[in-house]
Amino acid sequence: MASATASSVSFTSLSSSLRQNQVSHLKKVSVSFGGKSFKPVPLRFRVACAAKPETVEKVCEIVRKQLALPADSAITGESKFASLGADSLDTVEIVMGLEEEFEISVEEESAQSITTVQEAADMIEKLNEKK
């Protein structure tokens, strides 16, 4: 967790400088105090090995189907479910869909923390490792 001080803090994504099989989850966050441009977002920093592209692709497919997005719509690892139009019902169904497709069981607390395709894919791989 970054500690916030009364100054401008920004973190930029390092994904371009890492090799292909490593993806940084350092998300670009911009925090400034004192001005009106405050966007409180949960700060999550995880550096993990990337989920297999097939996993990410399958997750995209499940999300695309659940949210009735056209086949050519741009869904990537970074895509946030909410931005794609998912409401609370959709989010539950997406997690259910993932549980079925990948034969895993997701705890409710973990389900809460999945907000993007990449996070879902990473969680799937993590749960599969434990099998």
* Given 72, 87, 90, 122, the catalytic residue: 87
- Environment class of 67 (CB within 10 Å of its CB; exposed 0-12, middle 13-18, buried 19+): middle
Distance, CA of 126 to CA of 131 (rounded, Å):
9
- Confirm if 75 and 62 have CB atoms less than 8 A apart: no
Rounded to a whole number of angstroms, the minimum distance from the CB of residue 19 to other proteins is: 29
Cβ proximity to other proteins: between 32 and 128 the closer is 32
> Least Å distance between CB 69 and other proteins?
7
What are the residues binding other proteins (CB under 8 A)? 36-42, 65-66, 68-69, 73-74, 80, 83-85, 87-89, 91-93, 96, 108-109, 111-112
CB proximity list for 109: less than 8 A, separation 6 or greater? none
Would you say 20 or 40 has its CB closer to other proteins?
Answer: 40
Q: Which is nearer to other proteins, 52 or 78 (CB)?
A: 78
Q: How far is the CB of 42 from other proteins (least distance, A)?
A: 5
Catalytic annotation present for 122: no
What is the C-alpha to C-alpha distance for residues 58 and 42, in angstroms, rounded to an integer? Answer: 26
Report how far residue 44's alpha carbon sits from residue 113's, in angstroms, rounded to the nearest whole number.
10
Catalytic residue positions?
87
